[in-house]
Amino acid sequence: MTHEGKTPKASQGGAGENEEPSLTAVEIGRRAYEIFVERGSVHGHDLDDWLKAEHELKEKRTETGKAA
């Protein structure tokens, strides 16, 4: 499997009855930008920021789902 684009994509799968809705690229992008700024706006870590943002948001969503 090869990745031709530079920007990772959020999952596009639909949510079933018992599944949480997928994160959107906009949600992940916003958090990735926050991480970028928090790190001092140093360029060259866009993929790391994206993956960290995606991980944080998934964890947060899972914790929120367990609490409800």
Per-residue pLDDT at 51 exceeds 50: yes
Q: What is the pTM of this model?
A: 0.66
Per-residue pLDDT at 1 exceeds 50: no
Q: Where are the beta strands (DSSP E) in 21-60?
A: none
Q: What is the pLDDT of residues 9-35, one digit of tens each?
A: 555 555 455 566 789 999 999 999 999
The token duo for 35 is 């991480």
Which residue type does 43 have? H
Write down the pLDDT at residue 13. 52
Q: Apex CA 3: angle with CA 33 and CA 59, to 5°?
A: 45
